[in-house]
Structure 1
Amino acid sequence: MTEPRKINPWLKSALEFGPLVLFFVTFMRMRDKTVTLGGTEYSGFIFATLVFIPVLVLTTLALWRLTGKLSPMQIATLVLVIVFGGLSVWLNDPRFFKMKPTIIYLIFAGLLGLSLVLRKNWLGLVMSEALPMSAQGWHILTQRMAVLFLGLAVANEIVWRSMSETAWVNFKTFGLPLLMVVFFVLNSKLFERHALPKDGE
Protein backbone atom coordinates (compact mmCIF):
# COMPACT_ATOMS: atom_id res chain seq x y z
CA MET A 1 0.00 0.00 0.00
CA THR A 2 1.42 3.39 -1.04
CA GLU A 3 2.07 5.75 1.84
CA PRO A 4 0.56 9.25 1.43
CA ARG A 5 3.13 11.94 0.76
CA LYS A 6 3.66 14.55 3.47
CA ILE A 7 2.87 18.18 2.68
CA ASN A 8 3.02 21.40 4.66
CA PRO A 9 0.20 21.20 7.25
CA TRP A 10 -0.75 24.84 6.65
CA LEU A 11 -1.11 24.16 2.92
CA LYS A 12 -3.15 21.03 3.67
CA SER A 13 -5.48 22.99 5.98
CA ALA A 14 -5.85 25.76 3.40
CA LEU A 15 -6.82 23.26 0.71
CA GLU A 16 -9.25 21.43 3.00
CA PHE A 17 -10.98 24.42 4.60
CA GLY A 18 -10.39 27.12 1.97
CA PRO A 19 -13.48 26.26 -0.14
CA LEU A 20 -15.76 26.35 2.92
CA VAL A 21 -14.34 29.72 4.01
CA LEU A 22 -14.78 31.05 0.47
CA PHE A 23 -18.40 29.85 0.46
CA PHE A 24 -19.01 31.64 3.77
CA VAL A 25 -17.41 34.92 2.62
CA THR A 26 -19.21 34.85 -0.74
CA PHE A 27 -22.57 34.18 0.90
CA MET A 28 -22.13 36.91 3.51
CA ARG A 29 -21.30 39.45 0.78
CA MET A 30 -24.09 38.36 -1.56
CA ARG A 31 -26.88 37.18 0.77
CA ASP A 32 -29.08 40.23 0.18
CA LYS A 33 -28.38 40.41 -3.55
CA THR A 34 -29.38 38.54 -6.69
CA VAL A 35 -27.12 37.59 -9.57
CA THR A 36 -28.39 37.22 -13.14
CA LEU A 37 -26.67 34.54 -15.21
CA GLY A 38 -27.96 33.46 -18.60
CA GLY A 39 -31.17 35.39 -18.05
CA THR A 40 -31.93 33.61 -14.76
CA GLU A 41 -31.83 35.31 -11.36
CA TYR A 42 -30.00 33.47 -8.57
CA SER A 43 -29.96 34.29 -4.87
CA GLY A 44 -26.72 34.99 -3.04
CA PHE A 45 -26.87 31.49 -1.56
CA ILE A 46 -27.07 29.81 -4.97
CA PHE A 47 -24.29 32.04 -6.29
CA ALA A 48 -22.07 31.08 -3.32
CA THR A 49 -22.83 27.43 -4.07
CA LEU A 50 -21.91 27.95 -7.71
CA VAL A 51 -18.54 29.39 -6.62
CA PHE A 52 -17.98 26.66 -4.02
CA ILE A 53 -18.36 23.63 -6.31
CA PRO A 54 -15.47 24.22 -8.79
CA VAL A 55 -13.19 25.50 -6.02
CA LEU A 56 -13.78 22.31 -4.00
CA VAL A 57 -13.08 20.20 -7.10
CA LEU A 58 -9.80 22.03 -7.73
CA THR A 59 -8.60 21.90 -4.11
CA THR A 60 -9.51 18.20 -3.79
CA LEU A 61 -7.60 17.40 -6.98
CA ALA A 62 -4.67 19.44 -5.65
CA LEU A 63 -4.71 17.46 -2.39
CA TRP A 64 -4.77 14.20 -4.32
CA ARG A 65 -1.90 15.36 -6.55
CA LEU A 66 0.21 16.54 -3.60
CA THR A 67 -0.45 13.66 -1.19
CA GLY A 68 -1.25 10.83 -3.58
CA LYS A 69 -4.27 9.90 -1.48
CA LEU A 70 -7.80 11.03 -0.57
CA SER A 71 -9.81 9.85 2.43
CA PRO A 72 -13.21 8.20 1.88
CA MET A 73 -14.86 11.22 3.52
CA GLN A 74 -13.14 13.62 1.09
CA ILE A 75 -14.27 11.54 -1.89
CA ALA A 76 -17.84 11.22 -0.59
CA THR A 77 -17.99 14.94 0.16
CA LEU A 78 -16.77 15.85 -3.32
CA VAL A 79 -19.29 13.56 -5.05
CA LEU A 80 -22.23 14.76 -2.95
CA VAL A 81 -21.27 18.43 -3.33
CA ILE A 82 -21.18 18.02 -7.10
CA VAL A 83 -24.51 16.15 -7.14
CA PHE A 84 -26.51 18.13 -4.58
CA GLY A 85 -24.80 21.46 -5.20
CA GLY A 86 -25.28 20.95 -8.93
CA LEU A 87 -28.99 20.22 -8.39
CA SER A 88 -29.36 23.38 -6.30
CA VAL A 89 -27.80 25.50 -9.06
CA TRP A 90 -29.57 23.72 -11.92
CA LEU A 91 -33.01 23.86 -10.28
CA ASN A 92 -32.30 27.19 -8.55
CA ASP A 93 -33.33 25.58 -5.26
CA PRO A 94 -31.06 25.84 -2.17
CA ARG A 95 -32.71 22.92 -0.38
CA PHE A 96 -30.64 20.29 -2.16
CA PHE A 97 -27.33 21.81 -1.04
CA LYS A 98 -28.61 22.23 2.52
CA MET A 99 -29.54 18.54 2.61
CA LYS A 100 -26.03 17.48 1.55
CA PRO A 101 -24.51 17.33 5.10
CA THR A 102 -27.48 15.25 6.24
CA ILE A 103 -26.86 12.70 3.48
CA ILE A 104 -23.12 12.57 4.20
CA TYR A 105 -23.60 12.05 7.94
CA LEU A 106 -26.29 9.41 7.44
CA ILE A 107 -24.02 7.52 5.03
CA PHE A 108 -21.16 7.48 7.51
CA ALA A 109 -23.42 6.59 10.44
CA GLY A 110 -24.79 3.71 8.37
CA LEU A 111 -21.33 2.49 7.33
CA LEU A 112 -20.06 2.60 10.91
CA GLY A 113 -23.15 0.80 12.13
CA LEU A 114 -22.68 -1.86 9.45
CA SER A 115 -19.03 -2.30 10.44
CA LEU A 116 -20.15 -3.00 14.01
CA VAL A 117 -22.68 -5.59 12.83
CA LEU A 118 -20.08 -7.28 10.61
CA ARG A 119 -17.38 -6.95 13.29
CA LYS A 120 -15.08 -5.11 10.88
CA ASN A 121 -12.71 -2.32 11.86
CA TRP A 122 -13.36 -0.02 8.91
CA LEU A 123 -12.78 3.12 10.99
CA GLY A 124 -9.38 1.82 12.06
CA LEU A 125 -8.42 1.18 8.43
CA VAL A 126 -9.05 4.85 7.67
CA MET A 127 -7.69 6.50 10.84
CA SER A 128 -5.16 4.06 12.30
CA GLU A 129 -2.20 6.04 10.97
CA ALA A 130 -3.28 9.12 12.93
CA LEU A 131 -4.68 7.25 15.95
CA PRO A 132 -3.01 3.87 16.56
CA MET A 133 -5.31 2.07 19.02
CA SER A 134 -6.29 -1.39 20.17
CA ALA A 135 -9.24 -3.24 18.60
CA GLN A 136 -11.36 -2.49 21.67
CA GLY A 137 -10.58 1.21 21.38
CA TRP A 138 -11.66 1.24 17.74
CA HIS A 139 -14.86 -0.61 18.61
CA ILE A 140 -15.80 1.98 21.24
CA LEU A 141 -14.88 4.90 18.98
CA THR A 142 -16.89 3.41 16.11
CA GLN A 143 -19.98 3.22 18.34
CA ARG A 144 -19.54 6.81 19.48
CA MET A 145 -18.87 8.18 16.00
CA ALA A 146 -21.93 6.40 14.58
CA VAL A 147 -24.06 8.16 17.20
CA LEU A 148 -22.22 11.44 16.51
CA PHE A 149 -22.90 11.34 12.78
CA LEU A 150 -26.53 10.43 13.37
CA GLY A 151 -26.85 13.38 15.77
CA LEU A 152 -25.19 15.75 13.28
CA ALA A 153 -27.59 14.64 10.55
CA VAL A 154 -30.58 15.38 12.80
CA ALA A 155 -29.08 18.74 13.85
CA ASN A 156 -28.52 19.77 10.24
CA GLU A 157 -32.11 18.96 9.34
CA ILE A 158 -33.43 20.97 12.29
CA VAL A 159 -31.28 24.01 11.50
CA TRP A 160 -31.92 24.28 7.76
CA ARG A 161 -35.64 23.57 8.05
CA SER A 162 -36.38 25.89 10.98
CA MET A 163 -33.83 28.71 10.80
CA SER A 164 -32.67 31.36 8.35
CA GLU A 165 -30.14 30.79 5.57
CA THR A 166 -27.61 32.89 7.46
CA ALA A 167 -28.05 30.73 10.56
CA TRP A 168 -27.53 27.56 8.50
CA VAL A 169 -24.41 28.92 6.79
CA ASN A 170 -22.96 29.84 10.20
CA PHE A 171 -23.86 26.39 11.52
CA LYS A 172 -22.32 24.69 8.48
CA THR A 173 -19.15 26.80 8.52
CA PHE A 174 -18.45 26.96 12.24
CA GLY A 175 -20.91 24.80 14.20
CA LEU A 176 -20.36 21.43 12.51
CA PRO A 177 -16.52 21.61 12.54
CA LEU A 178 -16.59 22.81 16.17
CA LEU A 179 -18.80 19.89 17.19
CA MET A 180 -16.32 17.48 15.57
CA VAL A 181 -13.40 19.08 17.44
CA VAL A 182 -15.29 18.94 20.75
CA PHE A 183 -16.10 15.27 20.11
CA PHE A 184 -12.43 14.33 19.66
CA VAL A 185 -11.37 16.40 22.67
CA LEU A 186 -13.96 14.65 24.83
CA ASN A 187 -12.63 11.30 23.62
CA SER A 188 -8.98 12.08 24.39
CA LYS A 189 -9.05 9.74 27.41
CA LEU A 190 -10.21 6.92 25.14
CA PHE A 191 -7.26 7.52 22.83
CA GLU A 192 -4.83 7.50 25.75
CA ARG A 193 -6.34 4.41 27.38
CA HIS A 194 -6.30 2.29 24.21
CA ALA A 195 -3.24 3.73 22.46
CA LEU A 196 -0.80 1.18 21.07
CA PRO A 197 2.77 1.40 22.44
CA LYS A 198 5.23 3.19 20.20
CA ASP A 199 8.41 1.54 18.97
CA GLY A 200 10.85 1.07 21.81
CA GLU A 201 8.20 1.29 24.55
Structure 2
Amino acid sequence: MRYYPVSLDINCRACVVVGGGAVAIRKVNSLLKAGALVTVITPEAAKGLIALAIKGKINLIKRGYKKGDLKGAYLVVSATGEQATNKAVFEEAKKRNALINVVDAPDLCTFIVPSVVDKGSLTIAVSTSGKSPLFAKALREELEKKFGREYAVFTELLGAVRSKLLKEGLDYDKKERVINRLIKSPVLGFLKRGDTCAVEKFLNVIFGKGVTLKKLGVSVKGKA
Protein backbone atom coordinates (compact mmCIF):
# COMPACT_ATOMS: atom_id res chain seq x y z
CA MET A 1 0.00 0.00 0.00
CA ARG A 2 1.70 3.19 -1.19
CA TYR A 3 -0.73 5.72 0.33
CA TYR A 4 -2.44 5.86 3.71
CA PRO A 5 -6.22 6.14 3.16
CA VAL A 6 -7.79 8.90 5.25
CA SER A 7 -10.91 11.10 5.27
CA LEU A 8 -10.17 14.80 5.84
CA ASP A 9 -12.46 17.22 7.64
CA ILE A 10 -12.14 20.37 5.51
CA ASN A 11 -15.35 22.01 6.67
CA CYS A 12 -14.74 25.78 6.88
CA ARG A 13 -11.09 25.26 5.93
CA ALA A 14 -9.37 27.52 3.41
CA CYS A 15 -8.68 25.63 0.19
CA VAL A 16 -7.12 27.02 -2.97
CA VAL A 17 -7.58 25.73 -6.51
CA VAL A 18 -5.19 27.05 -9.14
CA GLY A 19 -6.64 26.62 -12.63
CA GLY A 20 -9.92 27.37 -14.34
CA GLY A 21 -10.85 24.52 -16.68
CA ALA A 22 -13.08 21.45 -16.49
CA VAL A 23 -10.80 19.61 -14.06
CA ALA A 24 -10.69 22.64 -11.77
CA ILE A 25 -14.51 22.78 -11.76
CA ARG A 26 -14.71 19.14 -10.65
CA LYS A 27 -12.20 19.74 -7.88
CA VAL A 28 -13.99 22.90 -6.73
CA ASN A 29 -17.38 21.17 -6.62
CA SER A 30 -16.04 18.29 -4.53
CA LEU A 31 -14.37 20.71 -2.11
CA LEU A 32 -17.56 22.75 -1.76
CA LYS A 33 -19.53 19.58 -1.10
CA ALA A 34 -17.25 18.91 1.86
CA GLY A 35 -17.83 22.42 3.23
CA ALA A 36 -14.51 24.00 2.24
CA LEU A 37 -13.96 27.74 1.82
CA VAL A 38 -12.67 27.80 -1.74
CA THR A 39 -10.55 30.37 -3.55
CA VAL A 40 -9.89 29.85 -7.26
CA ILE A 41 -6.97 31.55 -8.97
CA THR A 42 -7.02 31.61 -12.77
CA PRO A 43 -6.68 34.19 -15.56
CA GLU A 44 -9.40 32.46 -17.57
CA ALA A 45 -12.34 30.95 -15.71
CA ALA A 46 -14.85 28.49 -17.16
CA LYS A 47 -18.52 29.50 -17.06
CA GLY A 48 -19.18 27.10 -14.20
CA LEU A 49 -16.62 28.85 -11.99
CA ILE A 50 -17.95 32.28 -12.88
CA ALA A 51 -21.46 31.12 -11.95
CA LEU A 52 -20.21 29.87 -8.57
CA ALA A 53 -18.46 33.19 -7.95
CA ILE A 54 -21.60 35.18 -8.80
CA LYS A 55 -23.55 33.07 -6.31
CA GLY A 56 -20.92 33.75 -3.66
CA LYS A 57 -19.93 30.10 -3.41
CA ILE A 58 -16.24 30.74 -4.20
CA ASN A 59 -13.73 33.56 -4.16
CA LEU A 60 -12.54 33.94 -7.77
CA ILE A 61 -9.26 35.74 -8.44
CA LYS A 62 -8.97 36.31 -12.20
CA ARG A 63 -5.23 36.36 -12.75
CA GLY A 64 -2.35 33.96 -12.84
CA TYR A 65 -0.86 32.41 -9.71
CA LYS A 66 1.63 34.52 -7.76
CA LYS A 67 3.95 33.53 -4.96
CA GLY A 68 2.19 34.23 -1.68
CA ASP A 69 -1.26 33.24 -2.94
CA LEU A 70 -1.28 30.15 -0.72
CA LYS A 71 -0.91 31.98 2.60
CA GLY A 72 -3.33 30.46 5.10
CA ALA A 73 -4.37 27.60 2.81
CA TYR A 74 -4.98 24.22 4.42
CA LEU A 75 -5.28 22.34 1.13
CA VAL A 76 -4.22 23.24 -2.41
CA VAL A 77 -5.05 21.78 -5.81
CA SER A 78 -3.16 22.83 -8.93
CA ALA A 79 -4.90 22.03 -12.20
CA THR A 80 -3.29 24.42 -14.65
CA GLY A 81 -1.71 22.01 -17.11
CA GLU A 82 1.38 24.26 -17.01
CA GLN A 83 4.42 22.47 -15.63
CA ALA A 84 6.24 25.58 -14.39
CA THR A 85 3.16 26.91 -12.58
CA ASN A 86 2.35 23.54 -11.06
CA LYS A 87 5.92 23.22 -9.79
CA ALA A 88 5.82 26.71 -8.25
CA VAL A 89 2.49 25.99 -6.55
CA PHE A 90 3.87 22.72 -5.19
CA GLU A 91 6.98 24.40 -3.79
CA GLU A 92 5.01 27.13 -2.01
CA ALA A 93 2.46 24.68 -0.62
CA LYS A 94 5.26 22.47 0.68
CA LYS A 95 6.96 25.42 2.41
CA ARG A 96 3.67 26.41 4.03
CA ASN A 97 2.93 22.81 5.12
CA ALA A 98 -0.30 22.85 3.12
CA LEU A 99 -1.63 19.64 1.62
CA ILE A 100 -1.01 19.75 -2.13
CA ASN A 101 -2.35 17.82 -5.11
CA VAL A 102 -1.08 18.59 -8.58
CA VAL A 103 -3.36 16.94 -11.11
CA ASP A 104 -1.68 14.18 -13.14
CA ALA A 105 1.65 14.71 -11.35
CA PRO A 106 1.98 12.20 -8.46
CA ASP A 107 5.54 13.34 -7.75
CA LEU A 108 4.18 16.81 -6.95
CA CYS A 109 1.55 15.61 -4.49
CA THR A 110 1.42 15.10 -0.74
CA PHE A 111 -1.97 13.45 -1.24
CA ILE A 112 -3.94 11.93 -4.09
CA VAL A 113 -7.69 11.92 -4.53
CA PRO A 114 -9.48 8.58 -4.96
CA SER A 115 -12.44 7.96 -7.24
CA VAL A 116 -15.48 8.19 -4.98
CA VAL A 117 -18.92 6.63 -4.75
CA ASP A 118 -20.93 9.16 -2.74
CA LYS A 119 -24.17 7.97 -1.17
CA GLY A 120 -24.93 10.45 1.57
CA SER A 121 -22.92 9.55 4.66
CA LEU A 122 -21.68 6.40 2.92
CA THR A 123 -18.51 7.06 0.98
CA ILE A 124 -16.67 4.35 -0.93
CA ALA A 125 -13.23 5.36 -2.19
CA VAL A 126 -11.36 3.55 -4.96
CA SER A 127 -7.67 4.20 -5.53
CA THR A 128 -4.98 2.66 -7.70
CA SER A 129 -2.28 4.68 -5.87
CA GLY A 130 -2.00 6.89 -8.92
CA LYS A 131 -1.18 4.00 -11.26
CA SER A 132 -4.35 4.21 -13.35
CA PRO A 133 -6.99 6.85 -12.57
CA LEU A 134 -9.07 5.56 -15.49
CA PHE A 135 -9.25 2.08 -13.94
CA ALA A 136 -10.28 3.61 -10.61
CA LYS A 137 -12.99 5.53 -12.47
CA ALA A 138 -14.21 2.34 -14.18
CA LEU A 139 -14.40 0.52 -10.84
CA ARG A 140 -16.26 3.45 -9.32
CA GLU A 141 -18.81 3.37 -12.15
CA GLU A 142 -19.41 -0.34 -11.49
CA LEU A 143 -19.92 0.33 -7.79
CA GLU A 144 -22.33 3.17 -8.60
CA LYS A 145 -24.58 0.60 -10.28
CA LYS A 146 -24.59 -1.61 -7.18
CA PHE A 147 -25.01 0.97 -4.44
CA GLY A 148 -28.24 2.90 -4.86
CA ARG A 149 -30.01 5.57 -2.83
CA GLU A 150 -31.17 2.93 -0.33
CA TYR A 151 -27.60 2.63 0.99
CA ALA A 152 -27.57 6.34 1.86
CA VAL A 153 -30.88 6.01 3.73
CA PHE A 154 -29.75 2.83 5.50
CA THR A 155 -26.54 4.52 6.64
CA GLU A 156 -28.55 7.43 8.05
CA LEU A 157 -30.87 4.96 9.78
CA LEU A 158 -27.95 3.15 11.40
CA GLY A 159 -26.57 6.48 12.61
CA ALA A 160 -29.95 7.49 14.04
CA VAL A 161 -30.37 4.16 15.81
CA ARG A 162 -26.86 4.40 17.24
CA SER A 163 -27.62 7.89 18.60
CA LYS A 164 -30.87 6.62 20.14
CA LEU A 165 -29.09 3.74 21.86
CA LEU A 166 -26.38 6.04 23.19
CA LYS A 167 -29.00 8.37 24.67
CA GLU A 168 -30.69 5.39 26.29
CA GLY A 169 -27.41 4.47 27.95
CA LEU A 170 -27.14 0.91 26.63
CA ASP A 171 -23.82 -0.77 27.28
CA TYR A 172 -21.52 -1.55 24.37
CA ASP A 173 -22.47 -5.22 23.99
CA LYS A 174 -26.21 -4.56 23.91
CA LYS A 175 -25.77 -1.66 21.51
CA GLU A 176 -23.64 -3.81 19.22
CA ARG A 177 -26.24 -6.60 19.22
CA VAL A 178 -29.05 -4.25 18.23
CA ILE A 179 -27.06 -2.60 15.44
CA ASN A 180 -25.82 -5.94 14.09
CA ARG A 181 -29.39 -7.22 14.10
CA LEU A 182 -30.40 -4.24 12.00
CA ILE A 183 -27.46 -4.67 9.61
CA LYS A 184 -28.31 -8.34 9.04
CA SER A 185 -32.04 -7.66 8.74
CA PRO A 186 -34.12 -7.31 5.54
CA VAL A 187 -34.41 -3.54 6.10
CA LEU A 188 -31.98 -2.64 3.31
CA GLY A 189 -34.12 -4.66 0.90
CA PHE A 190 -37.26 -2.93 2.17
CA LEU A 191 -35.65 0.43 1.49
CA LYS A 192 -34.57 -0.63 -1.99
CA ARG A 193 -38.16 -1.36 -2.96
CA GLY A 194 -39.46 1.72 -1.14
CA ASP A 195 -41.42 -0.18 1.51
CA THR A 196 -41.11 2.20 4.47
CA CYS A 197 -44.03 0.51 6.24
CA ALA A 198 -42.05 -2.74 6.42
CA VAL A 199 -39.03 -0.82 7.69
CA GLU A 200 -41.03 0.76 10.50
CA LYS A 201 -42.67 -2.53 11.43
CA PHE A 202 -39.22 -4.02 11.88
CA LEU A 203 -38.10 -1.04 13.96
CA ASN A 204 -41.16 -1.50 16.18
CA VAL A 205 -40.18 -5.13 16.74
CA ILE A 206 -36.82 -3.95 18.05
CA PHE A 207 -37.81 -0.81 19.95
CA GLY A 208 -41.52 -1.15 20.56
CA LYS A 209 -44.44 0.67 19.00
CA GLY A 210 -44.29 4.28 17.89
CA VAL A 211 -40.83 4.34 16.34
CA THR A 212 -40.92 5.86 12.85
CA LEU A 213 -38.32 7.01 10.36
CA LYS A 214 -39.56 10.57 10.82
CA LYS A 215 -39.14 10.43 14.61
CA LEU A 216 -35.62 9.12 14.10
CA GLY A 217 -34.91 12.02 11.74
CA VAL A 218 -34.37 9.80 8.69
CA SER A 219 -35.61 10.96 5.29
CA VAL A 220 -36.12 8.53 2.42
CA LYS A 221 -36.31 11.34 -0.12
CA GLY A 222 -33.37 12.37 -2.26
CA LYS A 223 -31.43 11.58 -5.40
CA ALA A 224 -30.23 8.06 -6.16
The TM-score normalised by the length of structure 1 is: 0.26
Higher-Rg structure is: 2
Larger relative contact order (Cα-Cα within 8 Å, sequence gap ≥ 6): 1
Of Structure 1 and Structure 2, the greater helix share is in: 1
